Structure 1
Amino acid sequence: MDFLRRSMKKIIIIVIAAIVIIGAIISGGYYWHKRQNEPPPVVVYQDIAEVDNDIARFEPLYKAGKLRWQDIYLLGVAYMQKGRVADAAKILEEVVKLHPNFYKTYESLGMAYYRMDDIEKAVSIWEKVVKMSPQTVHLEDMINKGKQRIELKKRVVSLEQEMKQGQVDWQKKFELAILYIATKRVADAKTLLEDVLKTKKDSAEVYDVVAQAYAMSGDFEKAVNAEKKAVKLKPKDENFKKRLAEMERVREGFKKGEYHKNRQ
């Protein structure tokens, strides 16, 4: 009987120990899974110094292979804030492979490609994530803007090909100049507009676009002069008058150093 009692006692102890171990394994697995899938914290940088601090903190750990996917994502976000968009894209592509279900990675990755002017890839990524998560409905606007930019780029290519073949009149040169401005190719726009002005010195619309090109390049003196010519040719056009007033205001601000102070 003593032997039987001792055997039963051992069995009970073993069973209890097994239950405890299994419980610990299940509990540990749950918390590990939760930790692996919890989203990264939302980061709002107050200044560039905070961005630099995060990059300095994360980069060595990333190179050593010691970062969780959440922190790799945050490194990608810091790169984006720093303007290192190519590095951001590379990092975020890695996060997609490590954890493909986090929608914000696709959102940031698409923006990286958008800023690298790979609009087709950006739109493709955003379209994918919009289908994946209802929390990304706001990206519909960016998708539409991206598609518009793709069409603009196609039109630019078409007009450039026509120019090479010598089949472009001043109207198409003017259209191409406007498209250059829309795609931030301001220097190319100004070159074309100078050519257009040789033919259309009496066009208020041309001078208005010339003014916008100079304004985009930061030459507000020339921008104001061009807009004045537009207003002189069409004195009743309220849009021209408003743009002239705004350009004069900005020009005076630069002269007083206001914009320089704001950038410090």
Structure 2
Amino acid sequence: MSDLSLDRRQFLAAVGALGALSAAGTLGATRLADAAEAPGSAEFPVAPNGMPLEAKVDLATGKVEVNDDVLVRYSACLGCYSSCGNRVKLDRATGKMLTIGGNPYHPSCALPYLDFDEPLTEAYKTLTWAGGAKTHATICGRGQGCQDGYSQPERVTVPLKRAGKRGEGKWKAIGWDQLIKEVTEGGKLFADIGEDRNVEGFKALHDTKTPMNPAEPLLGPVSNQLVMFGSRGDGRTAVGSRFVNSFGSINSYSHGAS
């Protein structure tokens, strides 16, 4: 046992050596992937994670060759209120989202970040740690998790209309044209499920002259019956508030106003 024992100094030296080897192996694999030397087709090899590479960067000359089969879109993340940037990779043929990464143009993802005037070829170069890249954008785990939200089979992607009693949890999909017509014009919108109640639409409420209740003038005009409740600080609040106020209602409440 004495031949195999290590003192503290020897142990730390061994751990440090293993860490250096691991880092070297990781960086080596990254450089191979970034240089498009991973196994796959001769034209555009597939990365080790099985995803198609969006571009090849010649580390010697800086030349960028873009894969036309892959779409890259620079946008913003809605995973939280920070509204960081993101970089979404899509399969052109199917429209399927492949991966999400950091947006090199966004200050929350990279420092230094790319100026908006920098061409997209520079953004492709940031995908490699080599070749003198200016920055390497990242995004947090919550931002990565947005991909799961996008692919959820129960994600709501069309307007839903109640198809049963209130609280019964029954819904049916309708078209956008039907939604706009019913919300605007109102009427007996639930006659198909046996309800005789008339639902007022936006047109009936667009009245900034008539008091909502003459006995309670502080309630304001009929148009105050339009209420926008709940939104986010990512642009939707500003748009929604402007619409409600232009409609003639003061009742616009943000996400935190409850």
TM range (shorter): under 0.3
Higher relative contact order (CA 8 A, sep 6+): 2
Larger radius of gyration: 1
TM-score under structure 1 normalisation?
Answer: 0.27
Give the number of the structure whose residues are more often strand, by fraction.
2
